[in-house]
Amino acid sequence: MAKKTIQRFLPDPDTIRHHKMLKIFGRLLQDANLWHLNRRSARGAFAVGLFFAFIPVPFQMVLAAAGAILFRVNMPISVALVWLTNPLTMPPIFYSSYLVGTLILNQPEQHFVFEASWEWFLQSIETIGPAFLLGSLVCASIASIIAYFGIDIIWRRSVKKAWLARKK
């Protein structure tokens, strides 16, 4: 059941293979393990995808694909999950990450107004940057650990339920 549900939402492997940003991996994309869907590949892919979704860098898809290749987990899941942080969800997710960072560093929350300028970016890296980056790393790690074990539990329960239904 879990496998069928996940497969329904996965993008087509050919679409992923021929994506212009992922062509840099060339022949590495031919590994069958990157396209196979089982419990091991799904739980690892969820962990990799969610980890890079919380990391505030451009080209998250490329990093998720590299992680999927490195850990030999399902690439479509890894790449699709980075879109959890899209233009609508980025502000609350990254602000929450910043708050986590301020709690860990025991710093007061600094008020800031976003500006789309290079000067604002450089000034922000010095002031809110350390808390934001640490919070992002912590949130990414926690999300990937929860996803890894959560998918494992869901998958096992689904298989057990299917076996019991078959037995009846």
pLDDT of residue 125: 81
pLDDT of residue 157: 92
**pLDDT classification of 17: cutoffs 50, 70, 90:** low
What CA–CA distance (Å, rounded) separates 119 from 121? 5
Q: What is the pTM of this model?
A: 0.80
Residue spans per domain, the chain: 2-167
Residue, of 15 and 154, whose pLDDT is higher = 154
CA distances (Å), origin 47, targets 64, 90, 141: 10, 19, 9
